[in-house]
A and B are shown apart, each in its own frame.
Chain A
């Protein structure tokens, strides 16, 4: 008990005195997971929409692949990435091992199927006749997709939240491909592991507090956006 209380006290001090190590870790985490969620959206949402709204051969198979990807254990994603980027791997020449880039790649691999899968499910809920209505209003192919994505914007946002949540709290893949190198590839989760291992509980708790604050903060913000029913907001569209 004493330790926990001590830890929390120290944590507050570390956070508010702008401890360099803590903030280094924080910003790296945001950079890595932020980029990862951005690219995952870029990849996941179009895939979810296209697969959901079109008929084509092997559609069921692709949906199964996406759903499997959603449940992919993060460490599996980490292993897959390592096999490509380590020195003896196909992409070894890129020297991506133990870099933030590798971490972004692994996180994209984890988050994209989540985003694609949820968007896909959301889009399939849309009344199929709505597409006809949109076409009859004179929309070309791209306008149709744009409008239908907007129609599914709330679940799509939920998809992004799920994807972000999945990667910011992930530890296994990110240690495998990043190496947890201080100042380079040490993010909140991996730093917490290291601090605990080294017995540095104050720091560990501080980092946990920050991690929780971020996760909660981001989710709170996105939830506000998702649930807001006000006139002003709707007018914006």
Chain B
């Protein structure tokens, strides 16, 4: 046997060992049964609040489903839905959600919960934005060239921030405008570090409060309203992919149902003194 041929045979043998081994590993996982798995694409801020870690176990206990929450930026979550890589999406970007359903990627959008965004900044508030409306605050910050940290990552929060900038009629530019490109938690820390202004969802602010010196300066403005929607991915759009539509629907029913909504209502109250999210279906 020539040396080269031996080498090829050996390599093929090793490769087969590898493939067999991983397949065995793969099939030993129980969830490989059809339709037990639900891939839920959601945003990092939603996930980082810890809400899903409360909701999902209850859901899993009641049903036979296993939910895999994948926390990415809003843009990516929606893209995952469009590609059929997720079964259901839970995001907070109304315009995009509507487009998602319109274009047939999702079957139906339902309200789940809402909270709001707040503009926070250093306690001494050098630009004096406290009590202003969101748009006014942004104008002031921009004019003063006060340090402002943006998500800069196409997330729901980011899209809201950009929408507000659009209302101001100016585009934020310059050394004072910092784009972190990261999640809300990291962005808050950066803002804290630099004693800058930033906009955050109240939920994340509450969970990170202990680690921050920044305080809420602007809140309650209508434009800061932050609604969350849940949308099952449309299986029709992905005939060649196995979308767990049934599972997606079950999940939607759950979080918009009594039990799920109750959990949402109670979440965080004990720890932070106020709820992080307000349920939409029950009041």
A–B in direct contact per CB < 8 Å: yes
Which residues of chain A have a CB within 8 Å of any CB of chain B?
3, 35, 39, 42-43, 46-47, 50-51, 54-57, 86-88, 92-101, 104-105, 108, 141, 179-182, 184, 194, 196-199, 201
Are B69 and A181 interface neighbours, CB within 8 A? Answer: yes
Tell me how many residue pairs across A and B have CB atoms closer than 8 Å.
98
Are B70 and A179 interface neighbours, CB within 8 A? Answer: yes
Contacts of B210 in A (CB 8 A): 199
Are B14 and A47 interface neighbours, CB within 8 A? Answer: yes
What CA separation (Å) do A201 and B48 show in the bound complex? 14
Q: Is B163 an interface residue (CB 8 A)?
A: no
Are B4 and A56 interface neighbours, CB within 8 A? Answer: yes
SS of B interface (majority): helix
User: How far apart are A121's CB and chain B's nearest CB, in angstroms?
Assistant: 18
Interface centre among A54, A92, A101, A182 (most CB of B within 10 A): A101
A199-B11 CB under 8 A given contacts A42-B17, A57-B4, A87-B84: no
Q: Is B282 an interface residue (CB 8 A)?
A: no
A94-B185 CB under 8 A given contacts A54-B3, A199-B207, A199-B210: no
Q: Is B128 an interface residue (CB 8 A)?
A: no
Are A98 and B68 interface neighbours, CB within 8 A? Answer: yes
Number of interface residues of B (CB under 8 A): 41
Closest to A87 in B: B241
What CA separation (Å) do A93 and B11 show in the bound complex? 26
Contacts of A182 in B (CB 8 A): 53
Contacts of B85 in A (CB 8 A): 86-88, 97
Q: Is B83 an interface residue (CB 8 A)?
A: yes
* 22 sample A-B contacts, Cβ–Cβ < 8 Å, listed by A number: A35-B25, A39-B21, A46-B14, A47-B14, A51-B7, A54-B6, A86-B85, A88-B85, A92-B241, A95-B26, A95-B37, A98-B39, A99-B26, A99-B29, A101-B22, A104-B25, A108-B18, A181-B69, A196-B185, A196-B186, A197-B44, A197-B48
Contacts of A46 in B (CB 8 A): 10, 14
Are B68 and A181 interface neighbours, CB within 8 A? Answer: yes
Are B26 and A101 interface neighbours, CB within 8 A? Answer: yes
A-B pairs with lowest CB-CB distance, top 7: A56-B4, A197-B185, A199-B208, A87-B241, A179-B70, A54-B3, A101-B26
Contacts of A88 in B (CB 8 A): 83-85, 240-241
What CA separation (Å) do A198 and B69 show in the bound complex? 16
User: How far apart are B9's CB and chain A's nearest CB, in angstroms?
Assistant: 10
User: How far apart are A48's CB and chain B's nearest CB, in angstroms?
Assistant: 11
What CA separation (Å) do A99 and B27 show in the bound complex? 11
Are A101 and B29 interface neighbours, CB within 8 A? Answer: yes
User: How far apart are B33's CB and chain A's nearest CB, in angstroms?
Assistant: 9
What CA separation (Å) do A98 and B14 show in the bound complex? 25
What CA separation (Å) do A201 and B31 show in the bound complex? 32
What CA separation (Å) do A87 and B240 show in the bound complex? 9
Q: Which of these, B3, B53, B68, B211, contacts A184 with CB under 8 Å?
A: B68
